[in-house]
Amino acid sequence: KGKEEKHGEQVQFAAFKQFCDDTSVEKKRAIDEASEKIDMLKADIEKYIATAARLTKEIAEHDEDISVWTGDQKAATRVREIEKADYDALHQDYSESVDAIQRAVAVLKKQSHDRKQASLVQVSSLTQLSLIPESARRAIDALLQQSQSPEGLEVSAPEAYGYEFQSQGVIEMLEKLLDKFVDERTALEKEEMNGKHAYDMLMQDLTAQTQQATQDREEKSEAKAKALQAKADAEGDLKDTSDTRKADQAYLEDLTATCEQKANDFESRQQLRTEELEAISKAIEIIS
């Protein structure tokens, strides 16, 4: 009976020891895997943090660029509006001057050819134009005074033809002014065309840069949001993995202590039973 009990204990302890060994191996493997995963998660979290920081800086740079380019567009537009207003005003002055000179020259030539005394309103209006130089105004005023002077009429208008204008010099002067104003108006139109083209090219460039920067900013904002979400997910996974590893470590410590205690208890009982069996065998020999 003692041998059977001893053998039964051996069988029972062998099964328990197998459980201890298997469970210990399993928990150690789980702890090692968790430690490796924790290291990877920590590295991932640092990477996500660095990525979000880099994208934050780049987004700020895009915001600064967009702000500067938008300001450049507004400033360029204000300058272009001022230039266009100045051009329109000056172009109108040139056009009015050209039209007035053409009418005045036509009047003077007609009077000189027909030698008729006609209205000088067209000629007189030239003195009101802002572009007419002072020397031309004086010449026109002199011509107008001569035309209104009785002495001038007596000297320069024979009875056969009536009043005769001494206007050839004024006509030549006005025709030179006409050519000058036409050339200057043409140059002004070319300058305006070049200015508008430069403005259009600048606005096209600034618009393209702003649109590209806006697109890049949106993409990086999305990437930053994904990095922060991945960081949050990794931090949650890190906490769960750390908690699980901590529980496995505690369980393994308890299991190791329990298994060692049971092994010690088993060895003690086995030793005791061995001694009991030896004593019984000796007693049997003495009795026999």
- Mean pLDDT score, 216-225: 97
Q: In the 8-state DSSP scheme, what is residue 132?
A: S
- Mean pLDDT score, 73-81: 97
Q: Are the C-beta atoms of 164 and 115 separated by less than 8 Å?
A: yes
Give percent of the chain with pLDDT exceeding 90. Answer: 59
Q: Binning pLDDT at 50, 70 and 90, where does residue 222 land?
A: very high
pLDDT of residue 174 exceeding 80: yes
In sequence order, what are the residues at sequence separation of 6 or more whose Cβ sits closer than 8 angstroms to the Cβ of residue 98? 178, 181, 182, 185
Dihedral sign computed on CA atoms, order 102, 107, 111, 114: positive
Q: What is the pLDDT of residue 29?
A: 96
- Mean pLDDT score, 103-108: 85
pLDDT of residue 156 exceeding 50: no
Of residues 288 and 77, more confidence is placed in 77
Question: What letter represents residue 88's amino acid?
Answer: D
Query: Which of these, 159, 165, 160, lies nearest to 105 by C-alpha position?
Result: 165
pLDDT digit string, tens, across residues 45-67? 999 999 999 999 999 999 999 99
